[in-house]
Structure 1
Amino acid sequence: MRSVLFVAAEAHPFIKTGGLGDAVGSLPQELKKQGVEVRVILPKHDKIPAHWREQMIHLKTIYVPLGWRNQYCGIEMLEYNSVTYYFIDNEYYFKRSGLYDCYDDAERFAYFCRAVLESLPYLNFEPQVLHCHDWHTAILPVLLAAHYQHKPGYSQLRTMLTIHNILYQGVFDSSIMGDILELNPAEYFTGDKLEFYGQVNFLKAGIVYTDVITTVSPAYAREIVTLEGGRQLDDVLRQRQHDIYGILNGIDNDLYNPANDKIIFQNYTWDSVEQRSVNKTRLQEYLSLPVNPDVPMIALVSQLINFQGIDLVTEILDDLMAMDLQLVVMGKGDEDYENVFQVAAHHYPAKLSANIFDDETLARRIFAAGDLYLMPSLAEPCGTNQLVALRYGCVPLVRETGGLQNTVRPYNEFTGEGNGFSFIEYSVRNLMHAIERAIGFYHEPKVWPQIVTAAMKSDVGWSNSAIEYRDLYDLLVK
């Protein structure tokens, strides 16, 4: 049995800000089913709810070297859904109002990586692979090579780095080389290692030093080695191209299941698709929209930022409001976009519901009620919301980028195949054409239920991807 320790900054249900937390929270359970002994180690963030913190068992107190510092580290543990989770406790670094964007993030996450490595002898667990996630943990393979390979029990450790979003790289001042990382600049601060336009890049460091690299969809693995998609790391990624694997993210099929979801108004399956309409009428009542089960409802549950294609949506908003449809928006983001939707909701109260906040309950109800889910992303490594939409029969309309290409198959009226709609060129014209096409099929009563059923039957879970990860672990540990 392979033994793997996930190293990450967040994981559902303890703490999450987005898709990273969802993936780290749900993949280990599926890996366990595939025969992998997997555990997870996280920072003990102050934002972790009290009921989780109260369940943690203190295992050990140690001190972690970090440059000239010798920092406290409490190692705590709890079990959830048959998976063991460890937490690195240090209030100086992790008692913050948020998870990221602190002035000392370089020190915080360098400390976390050193603490993980220092904790290994005390976990009562001997991992063969340290599976690092995103830039927050990408410096770990460098620290392992520089400071631990000579120590007993460390030399056989292998590392894997998963890039969830290459936009976020962890770029810091070069002064951290000696002061925090304890690395000799002459050896490590070079163009082929950590140096990045005169600064230190954590993600680049991980790409160079890890044994194998994965990312969250096959299409994204192809995109990040291009000049446009690599975000200035394309060259170093191309040098590791044969070590890069695109493995599609999934969602927890037990958590997201319209057949028994207690949050939604009416449960249903693909054999009882007609029951979905109850969710629509109940949501219309809840949001004070006109109750009409026949009007197409477009859902937009998203960060309201350019990256998610919101600029395209706001440009066509008046055109959408001229159509016979309802638009339900939920999310926060750029203030300008928030204002556009709020003003439009005031002008079109029978057409648009603008919910400028994040709420899991309302999100789930929107997925269960909506007919069409809008996701016109500028870029999307994998995407989670389109997977949830498919699971709930809210037919996705996406731009063909990243993981959206791998999960949404455009409907073909000649073959009857497909589970959604898509467009390629990032433009207002193409988005509007795709919406008009989808609405046209919505009004064909013999066609639309087939598309909804195909969406709900889509494989959006982790089972196949977990097998791919298991095989990669086997490849690493021979």
Structure 2
Amino acid sequence: MKILFAASEIYPLIKTGGLADVAGALPVALRKKGHDVKLIMPAYKGILEKVAPIQKTINLGDQFGVGHLLLLETHIPENGTPIWLLQCQALYEREDGPYVDKNGFDFNDNHIRFAALSWATATLALKGGLIDWQADILHLNDWQTGFAAAYLKGWKTEHIPVVTTVHNLRYNGSFDLNQFADTHLSSELLNIHGIEFYGRFSGLKAGLVYADAITTVSPTYAEEILTPEYGDGLDGVLRVMQEKLTGILNGVDYDQWSPEKDLLIPCNYNLETLDQKQVNKLALLKENNLSEDIKKPIFGIVSRLTEQKGLDLVLDAMPALLKKGARLIVLGSGDRHLEAGYLELQKRYPKQVSVRIGYFEDYSHRIQAGIDALLIPSRFEPCGLTQLYALKYGTLPVVRQTGGLADTVFEDGEHTNGFVFKDADSKSLQAAMERCYESFKDINGWRVKQQNAMKYDYSWDAVTDQWIDLYESLICKKL
């Protein structure tokens, strides 16, 4: 099959979250199974330095009155995946992140920036002659590419099947109606059954309503988003379209995330050499100038610091564990008050708590290899990738039972690979952390849990066939 895969971020070119990891890995896994995948993504500032030399340039014209849109054909050097970069200096070449400015506010022209990406994606999907390559499937990801489905609908012409993957329903890409004209979308689509969303218009709703199939990144999340509690205002729409909704668990690229192969950690190890994890633990403690008592557990956080992730709960629960001698290592950024809360915790416990604001890929690997338990107390979690990484590193996750966390982490007697709690409150989290702390004292029992964790196979190879089956079923329906 020929698959056009559209995303607003793709690892290793740019990453703000799990979307980039998926967009970087699933196409590679599909190509390994013989399918022809091409990517499309904006040419943000600095991206051209990370790709192979440009092979071809197509000028799509000045469709949005902000300068010409150029499609640049190249490939990702690390894995050879072909990619089209959408270049427009006015839209994408900015000093800050892909979505927000240095103060953390959405760019005020995001509706145009990602309408342009969606328009270019739809144009490629519809007019394969542009690149002498006609896709069989268009795979969209999150709101930033969702408008592509609406353009195809508005053009009222036969087109290839569209799959929309929801990585996080809360980010629905909604905008004021007075910005609608800027997108050049058909006004016929602006209604309650189309892309209108509570008096606004939404890129994600466009991707849902006009897709042939909707997927989420875990089976449990696919069920949860049908309810008002998790549906973020889209549960009614999703219930109507329930027959085209499915949950396919994200995978992990074990070439990147495996303690046996990881080039970013001090000491490699596997199931048979699990004792070598202690070398990484001691190195991590030294790196952060923390108490080097390896008989007490290290809890870790690698996450966006947001209340969605339940990280306000950790601030309440953690002091009781610190008083017992536990340590905490944090890597992340997000809500200013949570950043301040963790920095204050570090100030109070300088030999037990280390906090780094930001994201550093190499450091995140050293954390996974060196900590004993990873905290993910999310209020909701579409899939979660950090717990999948943790499992492979013999690091036991402490998670709330929701979304992909419920699908992958179990506290179930001899099958235990982590610690699970149900209620989104600090008392329940603390109880799970206390169970983890007590379990750590039993060296043999802890080793069994680590081995349970490391044996799980969440590789992309294990899930790619589900994607292939979905694509093939959609193509057959169109025939």
TM-score range, shorter chain: over 0.9
1:383 corresponds to which letter in structure 2? G
2:425 corresponding residue in structure 1: 427
Q: Which structure 2 segments of 5+ residues have no match? A: 100-105
1:143-168 deviations in Å (ceiling 9; x for gaps): 0121261xxxxx24111100110011
8 A Cα contact 1:63 1:70, kept in partner = no
* One-letter amino acid matched to 1:219: T
Correspondence 1:78-89 to 2 at 5 A: 78-80=74-76, 81-89=79-87
User: Are 1:132 and 2:137 an aligned pair?
Assistant: no
Kindly report which structure 2 residues correspond to 1:328-477, keeping only aligned pairs within 5 A, or say none: 328-412=329-413, 416-477=414-475
* Percentage of matched positions with identical amino acids: 34
Give the corresponding residue for 2:11: 12
- Which one is further off, 387-396 or 291-300? 291-300
Which one of 97, 105, 109 corresponds to residue 104 of structure 1?
109
| Secondary structure of residue in 2 paired with 1:4 | strand
Q: Quote the offset at 1:22 in angstroms.
A: 0.8
Q: Is the 8 A contact 2:61 2:68 kept in 1?
A: yes
Offset at residue 179 of structure 1 (A): 4.2
C-alpha deviation, 1:242, in angstroms: 0.5
Residue aligning to 2:285: 284
**Are 2:122 and 2:149, in contact at CA under 8 Å, matched by a contact in 1?**
no
Question: Could you tell me how far apart the structure 1 residues matched to 2:173 and 2:201 are?
Answer: 8
| Alpha-carbon displacement from aligned partner over 1:93-116 (angstroms, at most 9, x marks no partner) | 111222112111111111111122
Distance in 2 between residues matched to 1:176 and 1:122, nearest whole Å: 29
Q: Is 1:221–1:245's contact at 8 Å kept on the other side of the alignment? A: yes
Say which of 114, 130, 152 aligns to 1:144.
Answer: 152
- CA deviations 1:392-421 (Å, max 9, x no partner) are 111111001111011112241xxx112111
The letter of the residue matching 2:138 is L
User: Paired residue for 2:37?
Assistant: 38
Match of 1:60 among 39, 58, 76: 58
Whether contact under 8 Å (2:74, 2:82) holds in the other structure is yes
- The alpha-carbon deviation at position 274 of structure 1 amounts to 0.7
Tell me the residue number matched to 1:160.
163
Whether the 8 Å contact between 1:58 and 1:74 is mirrored in structure 2 is: no
SS of equivalent to 2:397? strand
The normalised TM-score by structure 2 is 0.93
Deviation at 1:340, TM superposition (A): 2.4
Measured in 1, the distance between the counterparts of 2:458 and 2:369 equals: 16
Q: Which of the residues 111, 119, 129 maps onto 1:114?
A: 119
Secondary structure, in 3 states, of the residue corresponding to 2:5?
strand
- In 1, the alpha carbon distance for the partners of 2:336 and 2:177 equals 34
C-alpha displacement of 1:3: 1.1
Note if contact 2:115-2:147 (Cα within 8 Å) is conserved in structure 1.
Answer: yes
* TM-score (norm: length of structure 1): 0.93
Deviation digits for residues 160-195 of structure 1 (CA, Å, limit 9, x no counterpart)? 1001100111111223444422413xx322111121
Distance in structure 2 (CA, Å) of the matches to 1:43 and 1:334: 26
Q: Find the counterpart in structure 1 of residue 186 from structure 2.
A: 183
**Deviates most, 72-81 or 172-181:** 172-181
Alpha-carbon separation, structure 2, partners of 1:226 and 1:47: 41
The whole-number CA distance in structure 2 between the counterparts of 1:343 and 1:179 is 44
1:124, 1:292 → 2: CA distance? 62
Q: Does 1:304 align with 2:305?
A: yes
Q: How far apart, in 1, do the equivalents of 2:280 and 2:307 lie?
A: 30
How many residue pairs get aligned? The number is 464
**Is the 8 Å Cα contact of residues 34 and 470 (structure 1) preserved in structure 2?**
no
Paired position in structure 1 for 2:232: 231
Pairwise CA RMSD? 1.7
Aligned to 1:123: 131
2:90 is aligned with 1:92: yes
Check conservation: 2:150, 2:189, Cα contact below 8 A. no
Shift of 1:47: 4.2
- What are the Cα deviations for residues 56-105 of structure 1, in whole angstroms up to 9, with x where unaligned? 33332231534xx4851211122231321111111111112221121111
The 3 A distance-change label for structure 1 pair 392 and 337 is: same
Greater CA deviation, 425-434 or 468-477? 425-434
Unaligned runs of 5+ in 1: 150-154
